[in-house]
A and B are shown apart, each in its own frame.
Chain A
Amino acid sequence: MTRKERHSLGEGLLFISPWLIGLTVFILLPAFMAFYYSLCDYSVLKDPVFIGPGNYVDLATDATFWKSLWNTVFFAALALPLGTFLSIGLALLLNTPIFARPFFRTIFFLPSLVPLVALAILWQWIFNGNFGVLNHLLGLVGIDGPDWLGSTTWSKPALVVTGLWGAGHAMVIYLAGLQDVPRSLYEAATIDGAGWWQKTLNVTLPMLTPVIYFNLIMGCIVILQVFAVPYIMTGGGPARSTLFYTMYLFDQAFQYLNMGYACAMAVVLFVLIALLTASAHFLSRKHIYYAGS
């Protein structure tokens, strides 16, 4: 290494030194500790005791763990497709030269800014079985609404609806993606006699696949970590029907102080996220059209 190279190495490291500390102390060290603790009997009050893979064995036979995982998968299977349809639909509607477009865009986007705690409290009130406005509105069209958050059947759909209110965030991303579809493709399709629906199906959506793919993966990762809204709205109930993965992890760690067990769950969570990212990446090679590649 020349003197100059050494000099810039030193300078570069100096500039990134906050991150070197942050990365080590707040990410890498805790990540390794989580892995180690997952092999320990550890409540935060006492020092961890190494017990080998015991926590993982317990996990495999813990019905509540499987329940929370199933709840999360069920929730994702409902929320992700619906959310994607809604946000793409809204984006497509807004992508035409209609009147008052900024007005509509703002209305659809605003709910995604509402702080989660306020959002959860508000929807809990809307879903209220006795005095909730939703059941009142449903009553107007002749539907006898259930006690949403008190029913094991309807608690998850209720949370999905709550989540759909925030579809404006993804809508903005799709709207930006729509602007990037080359005009020439639409012109070619028009010459071939394609109508709006055919253009949407054959030009817009294929061109949008990278964005959809990115949003779906991010959506999965976010849902695996869903916490605040169900914690406040239902506390996991009724009958654990809305106990999601991260909520159970949190309970194990900070309610029951089974920190080692919680870390085993955390490691499983990490593996799940890694697998998801990898498989989505693999699948994308087949089904996604990337412009310019």
Chain B
Amino acid sequence: MQEAELAPFTTPYKPVKRSRPLRAILDWHQTQSVAGLAVRYAILLFFAAIFLFPFLWMISTSLKELDQVMRLPPQWIPEPIRWRNYAEATRAIPFWRYTWNTVWLCILGVSGTVFSCSLVAYGFSRIDWKGRDTLFFFSLGTMMIPFPVLMVPLYGIFRDLGWIGSFKPLWVPMWFGSAYSIFLLRQFFMTLPRDLTEAAMIDGCSHWRIYWQIALPLTRPALMVVGLFTFMAIWNDFMGPLIYLTDREQFTLALGLQHFQSKHGGTDMNLLMAASTLVVLPVIILFFFTQKTFIEGIAMSGSKG
């Protein structure tokens, strides 16, 4: 039943197609000229190599001894391979402390965004009230205000609240919704059939229960997208922590990594690359587990003009 309910949503944004059966691929190859195919694959492999090479270089450097790092021509496969760089990188900066700080912010931020935005999106789509759509479109318009505009006054506000140097400026606002996520979730809620809500109302269900027990479970895919993107935004965020965090113990991974890089007297490149690899790795792993949500989420956000 859930699949059927969601059909009106899933059809308009066609997800990026899965690989076709081998037969179809072979048939298509038959229709192409050999030279055309060769050029096509050559270009693909060329670009694949270019896109991969920075990753390989990062990993390669991260496994070198310091004097190997500066050697020319560079060795792609270090000899010997120095795994110890990773252990040393996590000790050169309080790496696990930074990881915990970032994860904690992600937990607070993602749960706040998912909860507040879905609640607000429900209010903007499943309840009829006067002025609803006007206020919604006004809210959308505020997306045009970029963060640099708000940055200085926000700093003042957070300072008056005594929040500078704490995590609060980075997660508390996320419990009060964000226009973009509200927009995405509202799109989703709009596609749920009206009868669903009305039937539940007749049975004496309150909006709160409909939201919690019917709407939320049905919008799991959209909540995943919002949660995932929020996670990525927090994990990546550099400017926010740079402005609001003052105590080195509270740095996030992004800020800690930059701090490590700009350390007085320079940082050993092999350790810096090892630390960078450790910051990139969780994101890549997350991607492999949530590929479909990722790709569909981006396609969805991009095609809505």
Contacts and interface: CB of A to CB of B under 8 A. Distances in A.
Please determine whether chains A and B interact with each other in the same assembly: yes
Interface of A: 1, 5, 8-9, 11-16, 18-19, 21-23, 25-31, 33-34, 37, 44, 90, 93, 96-99, 101-102, 104-111, 113-118, 121-126, 130-131, 133, 136, 165, 168-170, 172-173, 175-177, 179-180, 210-211, 213-215, 221, 224-225, 227-228, 231-232, 246, 249-250, 253-254, 259, 262-263, 266-267, 269-270, 273-274, 277
A113 B254 contact: no
A136 B16 contact: no
Nearest to B206: A11
Contact of A19 (B24, B52, B176, B284): B176
Interface in B7-36: 13-20, 24-25, 28-29
Given A27-B142, A44-B156, A269-B149, A175 B280 contact: no
B19 A221 contact: no
A124 B294 CA distance: 28
Contacts of A263: 152-153
A15 B54 contact: no
A22 B116 contact: yes
B298 A131 contact: no
A5 B272 contact: no
Contacts of B262: 232
Given A14-B123, A165-B51, A113 B303 contact: no
Contacts, number: 275
Interface in B108-157: 116, 119-120, 122-124, 127-130, 132, 135, 139, 142, 144-157
Contact of A274 (B130, B144, B207, B302): B144
Contact of B129 (A12, A22, A23): A12
Contacts of A215: 302
B48 interface: yes
A96 B47 contact: no
Contacts of B72: 131, 136
Interface of B: 13-20, 24-25, 28-29, 40-41, 43-44, 47-48, 51-55, 57-58, 61, 69-70, 72-74, 116, 119-120, 122-124, 127-130, 132, 135, 139, 142, 144-157, 159, 173, 175-178, 182, 207, 211, 232, 235-236, 238-239, 243, 253-255, 257-258, 261-262, 269, 272-273, 276, 279-280, 283-284, 287, 291, 295, 298-305
B264 to A, nearest CB: 14
Given A114-B283, A214-B304, A224-B146, 6 more contacts: A11-B129, A22-B176, A26-B150, A118-B276, A121-B273, A250-B151
A1 B13 CA distance: 39
Contacts of B41: 98
Given A15-B119, A267-B149, A133 B74 contact: yes
A15 B206 CA distance: 12
Contacts of B182: 19
Contacts of B295: 109, 172
Given A99-B25, A131-B72, A270-B149, A114 B13 contact: no
Nearest to B151: A253
A5 B276 CA distance: 56
Contacts of A262: 152
Most buried by B among A18, A104, A249: A18
18 contacts: A8-B128, A12-B132, A16-B120, A23-B177, A33-B157, A97-B20, A107-B48, A111-B55, A113-B284, A177-B302, A180-B303, A214-B303, A225-B147, A231-B238, A246-B148, A250-B151, A253-B151, A266-B151
A274 B44 CA distance: 39
Contact of B157 (A30, A105, A109, A274): A30
B48 A259 contact: no
A225 B29 CA distance: 44
Contacts of B258: 117, 121, 232
Contact of A116 (B61, B120, B152, B238): B238
B51 A44 contact: no
A9 B148 CA distance: 34
A136 B298 CA distance: 36
Contact of A31 (B16, B149, B232): B149
Nearest to B279: A118
